[in-house]
Amino acid sequence: MVAVEAVWGASPGAMAVGVVGGAGVVLRLGVLASGRGTNLQAILDACARGDLPASVAVVVSDRADAQALERARRAGVPAIFVDPRGRKKADFEAEISRILREHGVELVCLAGYMRVLGRTFLREWEGRVLNIHPSLLPAFPGLEAQRQAWDYGVKVSGCTVHFVVPEVDAGPIILQAAVPVLGDDTPESLAARILEQEHRIYVEAIRLYAEGRLRIEGRRVVILPPGEPRVRPEHLPPRQP
């Protein structure tokens, strides 16, 4: 396991996020998913190819029939269903958090997870939760973003990887990819082309995090050059997963 950091950087109000370790360090990922899990598959494939200094430690779903669970099992990754029915949100999320801790998770990745995470969960995992959204945020947050963009008549849509905060789809943006809206597009064809870019930039954002190259400055995420040293203030102890 590596030490995961969400630390104040050199600039006023800046927070550096990522891991502390040298070559060969592998970041342990926990993936929350509710559906098909295509972004999960992109992450699994990138880990298997050696394109990411990371491994998926566990996949958790709020749906027993989520295809993402089967993808995890095929990859030899623990796949756990947590039933949200008939229980308080806080209790449900406390169980998920416990599972993540038990599997040594250092970064949580939402991959089609269809629930809004609560403040208590996000406080525990502050600076350590990423999400991929199928629009160029802040445009078209929430559900069916691809259809929202198509209905609005935009000429360019895309996708966004961002840190997760309590407000929906409102966290600091790490990476974005633009996708042109073609004249003969349908919401479905647009969504399919956006999904291709989701797979690409989500893996890249996780890699940047794993390399300790992200620094949050207010609403901005600064991508640091490779090899730039990150120094932890002595008064701030390492965050534990």
**Is 56 in a helix, a strand, or coil?**
strand
pLDDT at position 209: 96
Residue 216's DSSP bridge partners are 15, 221
Residue 228 within a domain: no
Structural contact between residues 190 and 165, judged by C-beta atoms closer than 8 angstroms: no
Residue 113 within a domain: yes
Residue 134 within a domain: yes
Residue 241 within a domain: no
Look up 133 and say whether it is catalytic: yes
Q: Give me the catalytic one of 133, 162, 199, 235.
A: 133
Residue 232 within a domain: no
Domain that holds residue 69: 3-223
pLDDT at position 226: 86
Q: What is the pLDDT of residues 96-105, one digit of tens each?
A: 999 999 999 9
pLDDT at position 232: 37
The low-confidence residues of the chain, meaning pLDDT below 70, are 1-25, 228-241
Residue 103 within a domain: yes
Residue 221's DSSP bridge partners are 216
- CATH code at position 134: 3.40.50.170
Q: What is the DSSP string of 160-177?
A: EEEE--SSTT-SPEEEEE
Domain count, the chain: 1
pLDDT at position 240: 41
Residue 230 within a domain: no
Structural contact between residues 159 and 177, judged by C-beta atoms closer than 8 angstroms: yes
